[in-house]
Structure formats: C-alpha cells, structure tokens
Structure 1
C-alpha cells in the first residue's frame, strides 16, 4: 500500500469533510485580527473532522493532521485578539485537540508521545477547571495503562474518572467508565469484580434515555463496545468458546463507519476462534481482515495481526499454515511500501 498516496487521500478527505487544509490560513481578518465565534466554530469543526477520519482510517496517518491542527489553535491563542469568553473556548479546544493527538499516538502504538499529549490535555483541564475534559483524559489514561500491562493504574484512573462523572448524571458515560474498570479488574485477575462491573456497565447502557446525554467523545460506546468488552473478559479467563460468541456479536453490531474497530474486532475474533480450536474459521477471519487493513493505519491493529500470525504458526493445520503465510506476506509488502 502506498502510504504517501494514502496520506494525500486522507488530507483530501479532511478537506471535503470540513477540515481546513494544513497549510491554509484561518479565515480571520489578519494575523492580529479579532477572533470570534465563527472562527472558533471553524476550528472545532476541524477537530470533529479528525474524529471522523480516525474512526474510519485509524491513528497512524491522521495524527500528523491532528498535530498541525493543534499548532493552528495554539497560533491563534498566542497571536490573535479575542474576548475572554472566546479565549477560554480556544484553550478548551486546544486541550481537547491535545487529547485527540494523544489518542491517535496511542492507536499508532507510540505510547510515550501519547502520554505527552495526555499530560498537556490534563494540564489544560486543571487550569480551566473543566470536569468533562478531565474525565476524558483520566478515562483515556486508564485505557492506556491497561493496554501497557499496568492494570492497577488502569483501575485507579477509571475510578478517579467515575468519581468525577457521578455528578454529571449520564448513564452512558458511567457505563463507559465501568467498562474501563472491568477491563482493568479482569487483567488483575479479579474475575468476580470484573463481571460485576461489566454487568453494571451493561445495565447503565440500557438507561441512556435517562439523565444527561453523554459527551460527544463517548458516542462510540454502545452495544458493539460492550460485546467486545465481554469477549475480552472471557478471553482473559480462558473461556474462548464464550469469548467467540460475544466477539461475533461485537463485529455484527459495529457501525461500518468505524473501519479501524472492525479490523481490530475481526482479528480478535480470529484469535479467539483459533484458541477455541476452530482453526479453519479463525484462519478465514484472519485472511478476511486484510480487506479492512488496506484502509487502516493503526499500530494496535498491526500488533493484533502479529499475535494472530504467531498463533497460527503454532497450529498444525493446512488452513493455519496458508493463512499465516498470506498474512506474513501482507505484513512484508506493507512494511516495504
């Protein structure tokens, strides 16, 4: 796959979606011109467009656009004139964009850079005393801690986010955070507590018509995420047959606009199928994932692909050998592109 061509296409999609071209100028009346609501909305639409691109294509190539968008916001903050109310919104937008940069680096599997941007976002949230941004950052740091094999930190961070979220009265947000707690608890080996918190998460998700709506950044949380969380829980405790049931449901429920998640879910399903001794179907799903991977640039997804290849190499079956060879050839071609 031609990565330069992909990045060019990505920038084109960003422009079509409403994200200002990276080298362009903010439509302000001059370098020192006054910034108003229209300019703020333009910058916010740029961040929203980055969310859409990430959902579809993953964080690998999109992160460079996000970093440039953050630089643009910083430039406006430091060179333009605006009233105090606009200034606070610009600072908040910078914090939200830094958080999204962190997420994109996390997805690209560059965890040090992710930590750097999450630290910047948390500083902004603290400075502005913005509880919503602080909850988002704590939830994200919890996710990263669990991913990096620090489940105790993951649990403590999720609890800290949950404590702050309680006053918001949003069942959907509380459901997401309970799922983060459950993930950390399962990695800690506390199956009983993990099951309990995941059940809480599912119950809360059934009452999204009550209380306040979740913030926009939590829109991804729904049936597919909960099925996936349940599948991961059964994977951790070695019940691969049960994991397969939920991972199938996660893939079926996942909105097709989330291209990166569909690739990750299919590979995770393939892994569980092989572990459940359904090697032929597992190999089939692994090969089918290549169609998703042609559109996605995600370090996390490529790591999962490597896990599946290693697992197939351990299986004495023709379907496993053929699939592993095809996947390995794909990885080699992609690395050489």
Structure 2
C-alpha cells in the first residue's frame, strides 16, 4: 500500500465506534434499521437511500457527523435528542467545513444530490454507495452514481412500491406464520437460537456462540434455499428475516473460538444473500440491494473471498433486473476477481453469465457473445470440490436459461426460445420455481417471436405451476406475455390463456 501524498498539520484522528448509535439500533439488523431510516425520511419529506453498509459505517465511527438530510431524519426518529446524544461529533468539531450556529435549523435542502447517503458529509467524507465501485480490493468507492433519468425513474418506482409495502418490515418480524407455507413455517421454525433475542433486547449479556449455533445458522440457509427452489420467494421473504436477526445477534455476542467466528460470519453473510434473493425475486429491489450490501460488508470484514464473490454475483443479477446493466457488468467482473483464487470453474462460468447479462442489457452483442463463450468453456471443465454449496442450482438447465435471457434482451426471440425450451426440459423436477421461470421465459420469447399459439400453451403450463410457486418475477413476466398476446386473442389457445391469466390475483 502506498502512502498518501497529502500532508496534514494534524495527525489523523483515530476512529471511535459509535456505540450509542449501535445501541439505538437494538435488535434490528443493519438492513432492517436502514429500512426504518428510509421510512422516517419519507415521513418528513426527505429522500435518503440508506442501506445496511451506511449503518455499518456510522456504527464503525467512519461518519463522525452526518449530512444535513440525515441529521433531520435521525432527529425525527429520536425526538428530543441532539446529534451528540446519538453518538456523533458536534458539527463544529468536524473538519473541513464551517459550522452553523447551534440554534440554526438545518437548511431546507442541504443535500448536493437527490441520493441522500451519496452526498458528501460535512467532514468531506463520502458515504459509500452500495454498488458504485466494484473493486474487489477497495470496499468503499468514492464516486457517487449520476442522477440520470433512469435513476430518477427507478427511485420513483421504488417509492411507489414501498408505499404499497409499508408494513413489510413489521410483518417480517412475524416469524414464519401463515401462507406458503405452513411447510415453510415448520421447516424454518426449527432454527432455534431464539434465546439470543430476549437477552439482547433487554441489554443483558448473551451466551457466546458455539459450534451448534454456527451449524444451526448454516442449516437455516439450506432450508431457505430448498423452500425457495420449491415455492418461490413471495411467501418466504417476510419470515426469513428472523433467522437473519438472530445471526447478527450471535455475531455481536461473539464466539470463544476463531473457527466458530469464521463460520458465523460466513453463515450470516450467506443468510443475508438468501434473504436478499427472496426480496429480489419478490420484486423488492431496494430491500434486496440492502441485504446484498450487508453480505458484502460481512465478507469484507471477515476477509472471505467466497462470500464476496457470491454477494457480487447476486448484486450483478439484481442490477441487470433493475435496469442498471453497466453496474451489472462491473459487479460481475468484481465477482470474478474475488472468485479467481477459489479454483471453481463452475463458479467462474456462472459469473461470466452474469457479465453476459449486463452486456446484453447494454445491447453489446459482441461483449455478450464473448462472455457466453467463456461461460460455456468454463462449464465444460466440469464440477470440482471447490464449487460452493450454494451453487447446487447451477447445472445445464440454468446455463441454458441464463443464455435464453441474454438473447431475449438482445431481441433474438426465437434463439432465446430455443434455449428456454431446453432449460425447462433439462431442469430437475425438484426446482419447481425454475421450471416455472424457464417456461415463462419461453412463453414470452415465443409471443414476441410471432408464435402466439405456442406461447399460450407455454403460458398455461406456467399457470398450472403457480399453485406451488409464488414469485412476483414470474407473474410479472406472464403479465408482459399477456399484453403481447392481446392482439392475437383469436389464435389457438390464446383466449384460454388470457382468460385464465386475467383471473389471477393482482400483484400488490
């Protein structure tokens, strides 16, 4: 590491963790607390894009004094307190900017950009953006995203979505009760470290984590993945947060052995990714982004390149689905840098596919084809002992399905349909959600490729699976297919598909 060329008349001030702010977060995970900050901001007409990593940075003492927008939000959340009561340094003590008088209210609109936490703080310190800098060696990138029409539209869509799901964070606390699964409730209910929560909530010391706790955490990750494979995300997301809270409570409690600590960090990070995926698949992109950021921060803190690669892998997929293809490319490339020393050709193959999806979103056919060729060559090297456990879903069917999505984004509908059909045919019956996903992809590609009768037949097969699968992503794809097929109602089978699709419950 090279030393800085910038000199200072004073030695750098050592960071002090913000213990007060950490205590105020209580039993909520960083991601849950970040969601509470965003809700509080909306209550007073502010706009901040707080995520788990921002909360982590505050608690680590990296942000000694928040910018004005965050100040207003925090003082609204904790009425009667000052910034110093919340563990921050007085604004007058923060270097680099003039302070305002103590009795002067914060400016009406003090942020330099609409993206709240990306604006400079009053100590000339940029709160990092969750996915802005995809350098595997640098955890916190200094550059902020540009405020383009695309990002403004995404924010507006997110705000509308969050109004519809305002109660989600409260209901996430109801641990596995209701719908998709009575099955899911029984399966996840066995994750039994609930004794950690009451003690932590009451401020009393909790037992240090042991190997059984780490094992239970890893088992919770496996169960969530199995339930998602079978049933999709919508019925699981709000309930899967309970194990995640427990996981981070265990990390706070600490462990007696370093090996156990390493397992806890790995398990908590993987669990954050799993919960993030449930949010992603059920259309809660902002929540997913926060959970993936939480996982990435955990990976960086524990020096876990496998977890880092996984977090970047999912971040790339999310960025592609959220309409940020360039970010998808950069995240996939960062994932490949992290994963290269791990020695898993299959993992590198999947990450190349994530990159291909980004290039397809950018309409860069040549870049996409190069990444697809690399993914195929790496896949053909076969499995190895270095392949991560979470990659159990990645087989030939997934390879075909992801390639189908690339050709679909490039507008080569019939080529996409060929790959989607192959994916649905090859998929293991255990992965019910993926069969529904690939078949929905097939239906949409056929509809757009001018084969309405075949599209309707595929769409009906998806509708048959929706009794078992709850996935907003799949329902959104079907809705798009239905719109394309509307002018073809007289074609064979199309009317039956449209009528049956119209009878589905509407997405919230």
- With structure 2 as the length reference, what TM-score do the two structures score? 0.60
1:20 aligns with 2:194: no
Counterpart for residue 327 of structure 1? 501
Asked if 2 retains the 8 angstrom alpha-carbon contact of 1:172 and 1:213, the reply is: no
Distance in 2, Cα, partners of 1:87 & 1:164: 21
Counterpart for residue 300 of structure 2? 126
1:64-91 residue CA offsets vs partner (Å, 9 max, x unmatched):
3321011122233334763343233223
Q: How does 1:294-313 map to 2 (within 5 A)?
A: 294-313=467-486
Distance in 1, Cα, partners of 2:187 & 2:481: 31
Distance in 2, Cα, partners of 1:98 & 1:160: 19
Unaligned stretches of 5+ in structure 2? Answer: 1-176, 197-204
1:113-161 residue CA offsets vs partner (Å, 9 max, x unmatched):
1111111111111111111111111111111111111111100111111
Pairwise CA distance, 1:314: 2.9
Asked if 2 retains the 8 angstrom alpha-carbon contact of 1:36 and 1:82, the reply is: yes
Distance in 2, Cα, partners of 1:226 & 1:4: 34
Counterpart for residue 100 of structure 1? 274
1:72 aligns with 2:246: yes
1:255 aligns with 2:439: no
Counterpart for residue 279 of structure 1? 452
Distance in 2, Cα, partners of 1:32 & 1:163: 38
Distance in 1, Cα, partners of 2:186 & 2:406: 39
Unaligned stretches of 5+ in structure 1? Answer: none
Q: Which has the higher helix share?
A: 1
SS at match of 1:238: coil
Bigger shift: 61-70 or 309-318? 309-318
Bigger shift: 310-319 or 94-103? 310-319
Pairwise CA distance, 1:317: 2.1
Gap change, CA 1:79 and 1:251, over 3 Å in 2 = same
Gap change, CA 1:282 and 1:36, over 3 Å in 2 = same
Q: Name the Cα RMSD after superposition.
A: 2.3
Bigger shift: 178-187 or 73-82? 73-82
Counterpart for residue 216 of structure 2? 42
Distance in 1, Cα, partners of 2:293 & 2:452: 43
Distance in 2, Cα, partners of 1:50 & 1:40: 16
Gap change, CA 1:73 and 1:245, over 3 Å in 2 = same
Counterpart for residue 91 of structure 1? 265
SS at match of 1:96: helix
Pairwise CA distance, 1:109: 0.7
Asked if 1 retains the 8 angstrom alpha-carbon contact of 2:342 and 2:386, the reply is: no
- With structure 1 as the length reference, what TM-score do the two structures score? 0.89
2:410 corresponds, among 210, 233, 237, to 237
Counterpart for residue 4 of structure 2? none
Distance in 2, Cα, partners of 1:316 & 1:48: 43
Gap change, CA 1:21 and 1:294, over 3 Å in 2 = farther
Pairwise CA distance, 1:49: 0.9
After the TM superposition, which segments of 4 or more aligned residues of structure 1 sit over 4 Å from their partners? none
Pairwise CA distance, 1:248: 0.8
How many pairs were matched up? 324
Pairwise CA distance, 1:92: 2.5
1:305-331 residue CA offsets vs partner (Å, 9 max, x unmatched):
211111111324243233112101123
Distance in 2, Cα, partners of 1:282 & 1:224: 20
1:155 aligns with 2:309: no
Pairwise CA distance, 1:270: 0.9
Counterpart for residue 171 of structure 1? 345
Asked if 2 retains the 8 angstrom alpha-carbon contact of 1:102 and 1:113, the reply is: yes
SS at match of 1:60: coil
1:180 aligns with 2:354: yes
Distance in 2, Cα, partners of 1:136 & 1:259: 23
Distance in 2, Cα, partners of 1:218 & 1:60: 21
Pairwise CA distance, 1:21: 6.2
Gap change, CA 1:46 and 1:307, over 3 Å in 2 = same
